[in-house]
């Protein structure tokens, strides 16, 4: 007799409840079915289908080039794997910074065509009306403040943001605006830990930090960075839990040697 064990899905409501009870929220990026399946079964709370796919999956220098169709491809693969995790998908650059009706169309496409559970957008007051329009349509939105990679050509650098008082005050104001617009959470990237702590205390929605200190309600890392697949990116905030680059490279080297020396396949590995 088989027994079906019910898997309780993490939702945007679950995430907000986690903040209330002081439970930290664990987030990692994911871009494909196989990796997302591992993350989901390991118990990750949120899988972010980040536009960082432009960097780690496609080799672009920035996140700017990735298209909506490409994000839909990655998102659909992750959704098929995730049985428990909340799947949040980045809206790519150019799909929401202009007309809010175009932004809503892009948001609807992601939700309908990928099956995603929520979206993420970068920016504050500049996009607050668009956020409200998307949320009013019934689509959950997560905000993103601080270092916003889609604006890298505006900033010209990936350095820590909001160190000066004026930018810090704007960030705090933007965070409140995003909460008022209906966001269920906000990513805080590469800002001083003290500022992130202030924002976290000020908001009723959870904050997810990346290079923003321990006071945030949760943390997110790019999975390729955390696993040591990407060897070229080692900022101060990154804790590398494995060195898969060397592990995979070593395995491939051994495979090549076995093939070259006719040691693979052996008698037990053929029909």
Residues forming beta bridges with residue 207, ordered by sequence position: 186
∠ CA 13-16-18, rounded to 5°? 110
Cα separation, 187 vs 199, whole angstroms: 11
Compute the residue count for the chain: 271
Question: 74, 51 in Cβ contact below 8 A?
Answer: no
The β-bridge relationship of strands 86-90 and 46-49 is parallel
Cα separation, 65 vs 212, whole angstroms: 26
**Continuous H helices in the chain:** 12-20, 33-42, 53-56, 68-81, 100-114, 128-136, 152-155, 165-181, 193-202, 223-226, 244-260
189 is catalytic: yes
Tell me which of 17, 61, 165, 189 is the catalytic residue. 189
Which residues belong to the active site? 189
């Amino acid at each position: 007799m088989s027994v079906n064990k019910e898997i309780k899905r993490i939702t945007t409501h679950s995430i907000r409840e986690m903040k209330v009870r002081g439970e930290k929220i664990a987030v990692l990026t994911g871009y494909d079915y196989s990796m997302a399946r591992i993350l989901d079964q390991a118990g990750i709370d949120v899988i972010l289908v980040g536009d960082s796919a432009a960097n780690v999956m496609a080799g672009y220098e920035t996140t700017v080039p990735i298209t909506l169709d490409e994000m839909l491809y990655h998102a659909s693969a992750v959704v098929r794997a995730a049985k428990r995790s909340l799947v949040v998908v980045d809206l790519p650059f150019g799909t929401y910074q202009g007309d809010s009706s175009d932004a809503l169309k892009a948001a609807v496409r992601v939700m309908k065509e990928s099956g995603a559970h929520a979206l993420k957008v970068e920016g504050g007051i500049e996009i607050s009306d668009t956020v409200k329009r998307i949320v009013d349509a019934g689509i959950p939105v997560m905000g993103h403040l601080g270092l916003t990679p889609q604006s890298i050509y505006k900033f010209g650098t990936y350095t820590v943001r909001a160190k000066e008082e004026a930018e810090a005050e704007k960030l705090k104001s933007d965070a409140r605006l995003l909460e008022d617009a209906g966001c269920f959470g906000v990513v805080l990237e590469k800002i001083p830990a003290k500022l992130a702590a202030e924002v976290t205390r000020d908001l009723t929605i959870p904050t997810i930090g990346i290079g923003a200190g321990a006071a945030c309600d949760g943390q997110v890392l790019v999975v390729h960075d955390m696993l040591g697949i990407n060897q070229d990116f080692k900022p101060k905030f990154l804790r590398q839990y494995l060195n898969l680059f060397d592990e995979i490279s070593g395995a491939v080297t051994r495979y090549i040697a076995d093939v070259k020396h006719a040691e693979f396949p052996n008698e037990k590995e053929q029909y």
